[in-house]
Amino acid sequence: PCRETFEIPFHNRHDSDEEVHFIERNWLSGQVSNASHPYTQIDATAMYFLVKVPAKGSVTMTYQLESSW
């Protein structure tokens, strides 16, 4: 199996908290583990994350994907 770690940074320059609706597509289907934020599996290769980013702040979303070739 192949295991990859993904890190996606989000930055907010606004004066208020923001929610980011983020769809991540991977070229391989696999099992997600160690996700830093809740997600919904859309299909075999796509996930939906809702990421809350504080005012004038940053958040890094991380997860691991384990897939078989």
Q: What pLDDT was estimated at residue 69?
A: 66
Residue 1 has pLDDT above 80, yes or no: no
68 backbone dihedrals φ, ψ, rounded to 5°:
-110, 145
- Assigned domain for 48 exists: no
Q: What pLDDT was estimated at residue 30?
A: 80
- Assigned domain for 45 exists: no
- Assigned domain for 17 exists: yes
- Assigned domain for 30 exists: yes
Q: Could you tell me if 22 and 8 are in contact, meaning their C-beta atoms sit under 8 angstroms apart?
A: yes
> Based on the structure, what is the number of domains in the chain?
1
- Assigned domain for 9 exists: yes
pLDDT tens, 16-63? 999 999 999 987 778 889 999 999 999 988 999 999 999 999 999 999
Q: 40-59: buried (b, 16+ CB within 10 Å) or exposed (e) per residue?
A: eeeeeeebebebebeeeeeb
